[in-house]
Chain A
Amino acid sequence: MPAVEIRDIRKTFRDFLGRRRVHALDGLSFSVAAGEVYGLLGPNGSGKTTTFKIALGLLRPDAGSVSVLGHAPGTLAARRATGYLPEDSALLPFLTARESLRLHGALAGLSRAESRRKTDELLEKVGLKQAADRRVLGFSKGMQRRLGIAGVLIGDPQVFILDEPTSGLDPLGAVEMKHLIADLRKQGKAVLISSHLLGELENVCDRVAFLNQGRLISAGTLEELLREKETHELRVSPADPDAIMALEALAKERGLKVVRSKAPMRSLEAFYLSVLGKDQAK
């Protein structure tokens, strides 16, 4: 049984007078298994958030069916099994971070002691220990994101639905988020995430689906979708110019075309993380 199964859902938003205005979803189907990270990619307004809300039972689809661990969405069983991080964090601004998490804990049915213990643990984990007793009002977007994810984690759900989890996070936060998602996968949770930034999903998702105007335009594992079958990349070390020239010559001799040959660049992210690491080590 898949953790989340979405079959042929359609959703049209109507205006006040009941006229059809936006075809937000137009026959969307996919499913997410336990222990799998599934990414929804698509431009703004392509229907990612709408899909999530339907999976949570916050919106009702016009047609199609949804099940979460075999339950209808919105039922108590489905709600208990699901953790949702909304696009805009949805926090009560005048509560402190600690109080917010306690509220989440109480709603998730934890005992007082357990809620207290988990709150401290999670504040540490998401790096908000210093800000634990500050009001959410003054938090940056990234801090709110971190608090939001802690709130989702406190109930230990089976299915995670994270709407643009990395938006607003600093690069370190984004990397931590990716580690966290990888952890969840290891624990056998099903994770459904969305993003409009392609690079973000690349390293975390097992499978991705591309949405446009409410329709699935392509889906599959990263391997299937991204593998370039025509070319091959070979990295050597050390970067000895003579040996490389010889390799290129050999390639030409064998009838291959050398498409690119240059010193690889580190990504800006990798560089940032390495300098930050050095700075923090000081």
Chain B
Amino acid sequence: MIVRVLAIAAATLRESTRSAPVRLAALLLLLCVPVMAWLVGDGEDGRVWAARTFTVEGLRLVLPLAAAVGGAFVLRPAARAGWALLPARRGEWFAGAALAGLGMILLSTALFVSGAVVMAPGESARVVRPVRATGLVAAPGTATGAASPADRHWADPNKGQALTFAFVRPDTAQLAGEVEFELVWTQEAAPARGVPFDVYVLAPGSEAARVKAEARSLSRRRASFSAAMPAGDALHVQLVPNDPVLIVGVAEQGIFLDGGRVSPLPGILWLALLAVAAAALCMAVSLWFRSWSTAPTAALAGLLLLAALTLLPGIAPTGRMAADRRAAVESDKDAMQVLESAAAQLPELLPSAAFDAYLRGREVVPTPGEAARRGLIALALLPLGAVTFRRRQIAR
């Protein structure tokens, strides 16, 4: 059985890599990131930014979708020619086609990533190694003691509250860092400043050494800060809300200090691994649909479901964070809001945090569990598809 599956996979892989459009696509994949970065990027930093963007979007959007489409068609030669090659069972054709599909995913990822890696070695392409907080020193808004690092803590300016995070001193000359925050409006009023809080750096124990850091708004919910590095092994960063209408929420995971620059390559490889697992899952889903019917309509139905799964969390007008905030502030929701938060709760095809981190020039934290989970689901779907495909009558 294994011999036959391998023979079929090898033949199908050969078959799929030989057509002219596929060869052209391979070339495009290889050149995609360098060429786009060169075209779109303005200056060294611009090119780095463009290369990161294209790498991330290629891996997290294009690859899974292409795998879904490919999965719908990869079975086509097997379905049309395969059942007739007698000694092999149709389940074996299914498995062989799936294996070939996986081969295609690996090949195209390798090509695409090679292009991305070419753009990575420069000094400016290096990514920041984040130094996370070791703990929260004072948390006025914490509800219970069992708060996880992902839980947000809230500070209300009208009650004089502040959030203080403890850090181990990073090994850099200048202190720099980033905060991701959430806001709750307490009145109908526009925010007064770009960054709704002041950032102070303290040497623990001595209130005298409290230094105000320079804070800059990066985007709607992100700010960066910098200050002279204080003496001592430990330091605290304190966020003090400064806009009376805005309550500020920050999670322990939402703040970090710049811990020096490292090579982006391991991060890119992790992202590629995650993307391969997600693409395998997409392919498995569409192969499974295809095992019910070789008709294009069925394949299309599979694609629609998949697109829904892939894109809905992204399309949903409010993200998970916003849904949390709303839940914290409002108790009754209308139907649309319920639907929105349901969409935001759908399992994500890919863990967006890893991709966002790289997009923002941060080191990617390896999450082997995330990749393994998706890969295992894909693997579990295949026997199901093989059984359906075997049971099916193929009249034409």
A→B interface (CB under 8 Å): 13, 50, 53, 56, 58-60, 76, 79-80, 82-84, 86, 90-95, 99, 103-104, 106-109, 135, 151, 155, 157
Q: Which of A79, A99, A155 contacts B14 (CB 8 A)?
A: A99
- In whole angstroms, what is the CA distance A81 to B12 when docked? 25
Do A84 and B87 touch across chains, with their CB atoms under 8 A apart?
Answer: no
Count of chain A to chain B residue pairs whose CB atoms are closer than 8 Å in the complex: 70
Do A90 and B87 touch across chains, with their CB atoms under 8 A apart?
Answer: no
Q: Using A79-B89, A90-B84, A106-B3 as known contacts, list a sample of 11 further A-B pairs with CB atoms less than 8 Å apart, ordered by residue number in A.
A: A59-B394, A60-B393, A76-B89, A79-B86, A83-B86, A84-B84, A86-B84, A90-B85, A92-B81, A93-B77, A99-B14
Look across to chain A and name the residue whose beta carbon is closest to the beta carbon of B1: A76
What are 14 contact pairs spanning A and B, CB under 8 A?
A: A59-B395, A76-B87, A76-B89, A80-B87, A83-B86, A84-B84, A92-B15, A92-B81, A93-B77, A95-B15, A106-B7, A107-B88, A109-B87, A135-B18
Look across to chain A and name the residue whose beta carbon is closest to the beta carbon of B92: A107
B→A interface (CB under 8 Å): 3-4, 7-8, 11-12, 14-16, 18-19, 77, 80-89, 393-395
Do B84 and A79 touch across chains, with their CB atoms under 8 A apart?
Answer: no
Do B85 and A95 touch across chains, with their CB atoms under 8 A apart?
Answer: no
Chain A residues closer than 8 Å to B82, beta-carbon distance: 90
Q: Which of A53, A83, A91, A106 contacts B81 (CB 8 A)?
A: A91
Chain B residues closer than 8 Å to A104, beta-carbon distance: 85
Interface of A is mostly: mixed
Chain B residues closer than 8 Å to A94, beta-carbon distance: 14-16, 18-19
CB contact under 8 A between A99 and B84, given known A58-B393, A94-B18: no
Chain A residues closer than 8 Å to B11, beta-carbon distance: 92, 95, 99, 103
- Chain B proximity of A119: nearest CB distance (Å): 13
Chain B residues closer than 8 Å to A76, beta-carbon distance: 87, 89
Do A155 and B87 touch across chains, with their CB atoms under 8 A apart?
Answer: yes
Chain B residues closer than 8 Å to A60, beta-carbon distance: 393
Do B395 and A13 touch across chains, with their CB atoms under 8 A apart?
Answer: yes
Q: Which of B8, B12, B394 contacts A58 (CB 8 A)?
A: B394
Chain A residues closer than 8 Å to B12, beta-carbon distance: 92
Do B19 and A59 touch across chains, with their CB atoms under 8 A apart?
Answer: no
Chain B residues closer than 8 Å to A83, beta-carbon distance: 86
Residue in B8, B19, B393, B394 whose Cβ sees the most chain A Cβ within 10 Å: B393
Chain A residues closer than 8 Å to B16, beta-carbon distance: 94
